[in-house]
Structure 1
Amino acid sequence: MDYEQVRAVDSAVADALAGEDTRQEETLAMIASENHVSKAVLEAQGSALTNKYAEGYPGKRYYAGCEYADEVEQLAIDRAKELWGAEHVNVQPHSGTQANQAVYFATLDPGDKILSLDLTHGGHLSHGHPANFVGQFYEVEQYEVDPETGYLDYDGLAEMADEFDPDMIVSGYSAYPREVEWERIQDVADDVGAYHLADIAHITGLVAAGVHQSPVGVTDFVTGSTHKTIRAGRGGIVMTSEEHADDIDNAVFPGGQGGPLMHNIAGKAVGFKEALQPDFEEYAQQVVDNADVLAETFADHGFEVVSGGTDTHLVLVDLRESHPDLPGGEAEDALAEAGIVLNANTVPGETRSPFNPSGIRAGTPGLTTRGFDEEATAEVGELIYRVVDNHDDQRVIDEVSERIDELCAAYPLYE
């Protein structure tokens, strides 16, 4: 984009926006929680709906002039219901964390108990970390993955639930690369009389496409993000049964936020329509296939891949065995210099600071959106290994950077 209107008012912001466009075009986005939306979603999110206050819900607003806001939000709701098979959908949360907040506020009182996965084992801040409101409002205990296999320890979860007697069990994760057995966790929740929230922020698109089993209709509540594997712009979503519909809606508005961001909801509506097209299933499967070959490439080069591989869009690498003197943050920096943007990440049994942990996390949604197949993704895996193994060799980093430039040109982001 040329940002002519912005530049006429504010050249500094225009320069930054143009710089970000160039950065995205000329680097490979491999942060597992990022993706690239279509031009149609970008246009919808930049629409005049940014001007409109629409507190309330379609047909029940607190302001006049909401007829088109109602139309757009209802389209987003209806399309989400079709995508995920949900009875009730709220598309107003500004983020996945606020979607989780709505579920907690709808069902729990301060001091109630939450059982969730530990952050260093693949959980999320909004599942109970003490730095987050969840850890401050509620009593939280956390389960872990099996340290030997990297898989969820379902038996350990059941034992903890029996002892802790939680009011809410949270499943769904931000750095867990394996398929989740929702029914197995639901059985545990039923046994202890707890609600079950499945946070599918990372796998919304994979679930919608049917390449990951769905928790909708199994768990009490399902939350997600709309900008990771589902390419519908930044935001959150809550899905539940009609039984909990009013409680969730009231917890979102007025309970947790004011007027919805209608321009973002327009982006969600457009992105959901794109995801309803047949080629989205092919895209989601390619995301998983690309992640699988990325994990294989890493393993072939001696990286310790947590859980031995992946069933999803992300690969988690523990560098402590292959590169014991290289923290994940330094690996992240070297890769960013070469044009590969991923993130340092904690790993099960973490021994370093979360600000410079022992692992790296790589995702394939952004690559796949650009058109990368298994062969191209495998080459990226080779390049990642080369940089990590030579992170202090500027010549190698420069050579990899040149190849990344060629790959970005061969797989342009916006043509």
Structure 2
Amino acid sequence: MSPVTSSGDMNGVGEKWTLNNPLQEVDSEVYEMIKDEKDRQKKGLEMIASENFTSLAVMECMGSCLANKYSEGQPGQRYYGGNEFIDKLELLAQSRSLELYNLDPASWGVNVQPYSGSPANFAVYTALVEPHGRIMGLDLPDGGHLTHGFFTNKAKISATSIFFESMPYKVDPSTGLIDYDALEKSAALFKPKLIIAGISCYARNLDYARFRQIADQNGSLLMADMAHVSGLVATGHVPSPFEFCDVVTSTVHKTLRGPRAGIIFFRRGLKEVDRNGKEIMYDYENKINMAVFPGLQGGPHNHAIAGIAVAMKHAATQEFKDYQTNVVNNAKTLAAGLADLGYKIVTGGTDNHIVHVDLKSSHVKLSGAKGELILEQVNISCNKNTVPGDKSALNPSGIRLGTPSLTTRGLGKENIMTVVGFIDAALHIAVDAQAQSGPKLVDFKAKLEDEKFVSRVQELRNKVEEFAAAFRLPGHDDI
């Protein structure tokens, strides 16, 4: 007798088997919550720069039988049996990742096992810097990431500042651009083991050649964190870090539009020939692989690795290149549209998918928290963000906007101008509420509950949702 694949007797022994019952039947509470989130995504405008809508094919990988399998170790060197096909899959993800960025496997390797971008960065530091070694990254208030060593005068916020000695470099507050001259002077004093060329909220291209020059002056390794721009790098829309860097890390779920996962590229092979004619080889590969596992992680997420393979294949297509062109064009349209309405755009514009708006220095005089709050109430998602000169990451002056998700849904430049109008209308509701509530966020929130503001917010929300619902959304129809 064949096994039963739905509710009923299993093999005639009277045991009830429910493992193949659908989610809606097994747990309607969770099912409804996911449906609500799907509805929010469909009716909302997702403008968080680090988010995107992945493909149905990647979602199918994420919900596949690959989630069942343990595969600690590297392909061909596993600590578990039964990995014949898992090995093929991981090797495919590796080869496609290298091919996408035109990397010679003799000169570059890649680890596709990190669970996400933060673990990927920590693995590199663990492997190549070692505890209490010195790192330098762009300061968080200036557009850097937590994992680039963020700390304050009161606390070490990120684990990267707890276990490593970090010193930030800054932007010029008058321009919002990285001050490479100041970085060069600071590095000469600090002598970091590793310099990080990477961003979380910085809308301009990085000068990797200048980073390399500064690193070489101090005997430092150079790591690029291209998590935000990896899709744009793949299609040639922004400069590539690979010519200049020793290591490159990335997430896969932002502009690459893949699964939530991380990757680490590292140089391998011949590094140089010394004065005695001895060949010196790069020694990053084994150190990084060992830091990922067994150093910091257990078994890799094979369903995510399959998603990486799929995302890398799609990122090599003309369709994806055209998509990235539209991402950048939409971001430039968004920045110009807001600037024309009197909003201060940090650095004056954008080279990528990020638009960084300084609300407190704009005509609306709002905090980032108030901007994020009012936009969320009309179903436009963004995040509050520090701007150059801010003293506290908890009380930022700006918001970060991005165009990858909207572009995935099919919005073009004319549609983006409609979105600009929605943003402006929402922020002016906030201006009126603040005029009555005063500066405190708690009083501002309370004022928005007044009937007059509730009706204005709901009216605008209805317009946003009617507009957004007309656009496509990849994935499953229901959840």
Question: Do these two structures clear the TM 0.5 threshold for a shared fold by scoring above it?
Answer: yes
Does 2:221 align with 1:182? Answer: no
- Look up the match of 2:77: 60
Correspondent of 1:172 among 198, 209, 220: 198
Is 1:370–1:413's contact at 8 Å kept on the other side of the alignment?
yes
Correspondent of 1:404 among 451, 460, 464: 464
- Look up the match of 1:5: 22
Correspondent of 2:148 among 104, 127, 138: 127
Give the TM-score of the pair, scaled to structure 1: 0.96
Correspondent of 2:350 among 303, 310, 328: 310
Secondary structure of the structure 2 residue equivalent to 1:253: helix
Q: Match for 1:94: what amino acid? A: Y
- Look up the match of 2:334: 294
- Look up the match of 1:359: 398
Does 2:91 align with 1:31? Answer: no
- State the Cα deviation string for residues 49-101 of structure 1 (Å, max 9, x = none): 00000011111111111111112111111110011233211110001011101
- State the Cα deviation string for residues 360-387 of structure 1 (Å, max 9, x = none): 0000000000011111112111211111
**Post-superposition shift, 1:389?**
1.7
Correspondent of 1:115 among 112, 119, 136: 136
RMSD: 1.5
Correspondent of 1:343 among 374, 383, 387: 383
Q: Match for 2:428: what amino acid? A: D
Give me the whole-angstrom Cα distance separating, in 1, the residues matched to 2:22 and 2:467. Answer: 32
Distance change >3 Å, CA 373–CA 137, structure 1 → 2: same
- Look up the match of 1:98: 119
Does 2:426 align with 1:387? Answer: yes
- State the Cα deviation string for residues 330-381 of structure 1 (Å, max 9, x = none): 1111111111111111111014x42331100000000000011111112111
Secondary structure of the structure 2 residue equivalent to 1:254: helix
Correspondent of 2:36 among 8, 15, 19: 19
- Look up the match of 1:89: 110
**Post-superposition shift, 1:324?**
6.2
Is 1:387–1:396's contact at 8 Å kept on the other side of the alignment?
no
Give me the whole-angstrom Cα distance separating, in 2, the residues matched to 1:413 and 1:376. Answer: 16
- Look up the match of 2:299: 259
Is 1:318–1:358's contact at 8 Å kept on the other side of the alignment?
yes
Is 1:211–1:284's contact at 8 Å kept on the other side of the alignment?
yes
- State the Cα deviation string for residues 297-330 of structure 1 (Å, max 9, x = none): 1100111100000001010011112256522111
Secondary structure of the structure 2 residue equivalent to 1:116: strand
Q: Match for 2:69: what amino acid? A: K
Give me the whole-angstrom Cα distance separating, in 2, the residues matched to 1:300 and 1:268. Answer: 39
Judge which range, 322-331 or 274-283, deviates more: 322-331
Q: Match for 2:399: what amino acid? A: I
Secondary structure of the structure 1 residue equivalent to 2:294: coil
- Look up the match of 1:205: 231
Is 1:100–1:126's contact at 8 Å kept on the other side of the alignment?
yes
Judge which range, 187-196 or 128-137, deviates more: 128-137
Spell out structure 1 runs of 4+ moving beyond 6 A.
none
- Percent identity over the alignment is 45
Matches within 5 A, 1:212-223: 212-223=238-249
**Post-superposition shift, 1:395?**
4.2
Is 2:44–2:469's contact at 8 Å kept on the other side of the alignment?
no
* Unmatched runs of 5 consecutive residues or more in structure 1: none
Give me the whole-angstrom Cα distance separating, in 2, the residues matched to 1:320 and 1:98. Answer: 34
Give me the whole-angstrom Cα distance separating, in 2, the residues matched to 1:403 and 1:314. Answer: 25
- Look up the match of 1:142: 168
- Look up the match of 1:40: 57
**Post-superposition shift, 1:111?**
1.6
Secondary structure of the structure 1 residue equivalent to 2:469: helix
Is 1:85–1:216's contact at 8 Å kept on the other side of the alignment?
no
Give me the whole-angstrom Cα distance separating, in 2, the residues matched to 1:4 and 1:278. Answer: 40
Q: Match for 1:222: what amino acid? A: V
Give the TM-score of the pair, scaled to structure 2: 0.84
Is 1:216–1:240's contact at 8 Å kept on the other side of the alignment?
no
Is 1:58–1:70's contact at 8 Å kept on the other side of the alignment?
yes
Secondary structure of the structure 1 residue equivalent to 2:110: strand
Bigger CA radius of gyration: 2
- State the Cα deviation string for residues 79-131 of structure 1 (Å, max 9, x = none): 10011233211110001011101110111122211111110000111000221
Give me the whole-angstrom Cα distance separating, in 2, the residues matched to 1:128 and 1:292. Answer: 30
Judge which range, 287-296 or 6-15, deviates more: 6-15
Give me the whole-angstrom Cα distance separating, in 1, the residues matched to 2:263 and 2:305. Answer: 10
Give me the whole-angstrom Cα distance separating, in 2, the residues matched to 1:59 and 1:20. Answer: 40
Secondary structure of the structure 1 residue equivalent to 2:137: strand
Is 2:137–2:198's contact at 8 Å kept on the other side of the alignment?
no
Correspondent of 1:371 among 404, 410, 419: 410
- State the Cα deviation string for residues 149-184 of structure 1 (Å, max 9, x = none): 111111111111111111111111000000011111
Correspondent of 1:194 among 210, 217, 220: 220
Judge which range, 281-290 or 106-115, deviates more: 106-115
**Post-superposition shift, 1:215?**
0.4
Give me the whole-angstrom Cα distance separating, in 1, the residues matched to 2:209 and 2:329. Answer: 25
Is 2:378–2:464's contact at 8 Å kept on the other side of the alignment?
yes
Is 1:96–1:237's contact at 8 Å kept on the other side of the alignment?
yes
Judge which range, 393-402 or 243-252, deviates more: 393-402
Give me the whole-angstrom Cα distance separating, in 1, the residues matched to 2:239 and 2:21. Answer: 45
Number of equivalenced pairs: 412
